[in-house]
Structure 1
Amino acid sequence: MAGNYNVLLIDDDIELTELISAYLSSNGFTVKCLHHGENVLEAIEEFRPDVIILDLMLPGIDGLTICKNIRPDFNGAIIMLTALGDDIDEVTGLEVGADDYLAKPVKPRVLLAHIRSQLRRQSTIQQTSQENGIFCYGQQIKLDATKRTVTNNNEQVLLSSAEFDLLWLLAKNVGTIIKREELHQQIFRLPYDGIDRSIDLRISRIRKKLNDDPKEPKIIKTVRNVGYLLAL
């Protein structure tokens, strides 16, 4: 999977960006590199990337701030990189809208696998949008698959691309328990390793945005040691 896909790589490690850029280019991608957080919006508008690879630690504007700023208007995938191993960085990155997360040092072939996974997910998004599906949760919550929008009491809820995919998957199977492994496979197109917390973090984030009490959720319920379901 490549060809006609643009990747915007934002990292101040010049040696790493050259290595990754060369590897991705050899696999058919068009790559543009930035080594700082300035002019990112201009680069997105000009280059129109399908995937953004964003380093957490950047001179000037940090990666979390950039992610938060671009997420509302950027519908492609954002993969965050960091040299730090603290879980709080992953949690924060996902909360501000990152779709995927990799710790440095990252092997180019592993990064390529994650990029392809995100592109497959984007392809699924387009197919879902063509279904012109609309799901209503009572009189309160409405999901529109064509516009990829969510409203709560007629107020728009800003979800990241992966958050929308997860909520839409639950909505299509309302009242049915979906195992965490299946959710992970459907969203990321990668096998679940039993450790990754990305699904749990996204569920937590979606609940917060829908004002669903995490202690006693009424919309998205947790089935302990199994998975999640959108309650009837």
Structure 2
Amino acid sequence: MASKEAFLKNIASHLGRERRSGVKPPTYISQPWDHFYKDMNRDELIEMFIANATKIGAKVIDAENEKDLNIILGPWISENDQVIIWNDERFEELKVYQALNQLKANWKKWQDGQENHLIFTEKSKVGIVFADFGVAETGSLALFHGKGKGRSVSLLPLISIGFVKKDTIVPRITQVLKAIHQQVPSGDLTSCFNFITGPSRSADIEMDLSIGVHGPGELVVLLI
């Protein structure tokens, strides 16, 4: 907090005024975006998410009742394939690390600030992450980054595999932004958040749609 105050006071001094405080956000009379899809139940939101994610090129697999994750991951990960994965306790609970060992993959957990891990990630075939939310309206994965959860893991490998819990699928980006806003009072904010909507697409090269130019060319979503 001290560094934040010093930063803001420094800006204020360069603007030739005192540090301002007590600014209140506006109160809107109507917030229609909160009411979109309000009558949809959990199963309907999941169906919407699957439909929209599939439309934009993601492969969605229902793995909720699948105990042998090595069977689920097998089509994308073979023996000695290079795999980078978040260092996340949720993967411990699901025994994903164990599944990678069973597949005999050459894998590593992401470690912050390690140059050799960045090089390993750049050369990896697969990157595995755990989404904090799924957005039904767009079929997107919302990733909250922090310690052990590097951004490069979902960006640099050829294939991106994202786990998402069914009970974290929300109607719109609105609900994700609210969750982030609720982190503000405690100061326990995510260092960065990303919305991943399908595999990497680019159409700025002679108006030709290219897949996988600026990121993974394949996105696999595992619903649990």
- The TM-score with structure 1 as length reference comes to 0.33
Higher relative contact order (CA 8 A, sep 6+): 2
Larger radius of gyration: 2
Bigger helix fraction? 1
